[in-house]
Amino acid sequence: MTLFTGYRLGGLTLPNRVVMAPMTRVRATVGGLATPSMATYYAQRATAGLIVSEGVQPSLIGQSNPGTPGLHTVEQVAAWRLATAAVHTNGGRIFAQLMHGGRVSHPDTTGMQPVGPSAVPAVGDVFTPSGPQAAPMPRALDTAEVPEHARSYARAALRAIDAGFDGVELHGANGYLISQFLSSNANLRTDRYGGPIANRIRFAVEAATATVEAVGRDRTGIRLSPGGTFWGVQETDVRELYTALLAELAPLGLAYVHLEATADEELLLTLRRAWPSTLVVNPVLPMGPKQTGRDDADRWLAMGADLISFGRAFIANPDLVERLRGGLPIAPVDEATYYQGGDAGYLTYPAHQYAA
């Protein structure tokens, strides 16, 4: 078995074990609509075994950054169909990552006060239409409101399938809403969603359960960042927290769990053993100094991962699978064009040019 061996993921047959990780690129319209350029971008990368889209907000209040796409209106569903069709025409498969920003948002972006488990602001500046601003104070959700936000993932998942996606990935990582409920400093609740581990994992399990009930287990994955500290979240008892979470998720039969390398290798291997089905591993710290390479992928496949996700390497290398297969150079990415909009640094990276 190698990175280029096929893999059966639910109802999909993947031609290789390379996953394109979700990456925010902020190229959507003001109304959260996917654009023809976004369709081209994903279609260019359709040789990945699986593409996971950029974070897509399941509701307006769930939008974190300006310029991100949504899946909460009829117009957004219609706009995404161009992108999913383009990926499928090029032989690919694509899941939508559903991302509720929770407290990592701003009224200037959504017109609403952000919500979170507790009235504790995120650490750092958030992006707004007028530039970075300090993260605002979120409104703590009432107990009766929490299930509605868990169900928002399921509603967006139904729209994703209507839009032509092959499935969805719940963004349970990186300090966004699911991660905030898992946290021991963003979640100071004293009701059934806070305090002991069994309560802090409840929101994640409810969101996953609702999504499975809506679109099926084969179409539902979740991404997690055990021990991660994005946006100021902290987690106590990380091993116990995530083994308990995986134990609750396992009966749902999710398509996969997608782990980020935010914890030490020993813990990640413990979670590999605790998860009974498909595991996707992102072997390097997201936005850290190193990009995932072929050696990282091979090492984690040997340690029990089923699929390997690559992030930044896919930005500048639309043909990343073939470059990895052939040992070809991996082109560097221009960080200045990550989020600036337009097609430069988005659609302008070429495939490898072979010498005549």
Residues with catalytic annotation?
176
Distance CA(120)–CA(185), nearest Å, equals 8
* DSSP secondary structure string for all residues of 120-132: -PPSSEEP-TTS-
- What spatial distance separates the first Cα and last Cα of the chain, rounded to whole Å? 33
Q: Report whether 189 contacts 117 (CB < 8 A).
A: yes
Distance CA(223)–CA(173), nearest Å, equals 6
CA distances, 293 to each of 15, 18, 80, 224, 282 (Å): 19, 11, 30, 21, 11
Tokens 């979640």 label which residue? 187
In the 8-state DSSP scheme, what is residue 178?
A: H
- For residue 134, count other CB atoms closer than 10 A to its CB: 12
In the 8-state DSSP scheme, what is residue 232?
A: G
Q: Report whether 50 contacts 9 (CB < 8 A).
A: yes
Tell me, rounded to whole angstroms, the distance of Cα 286 from its chain centroid.
11
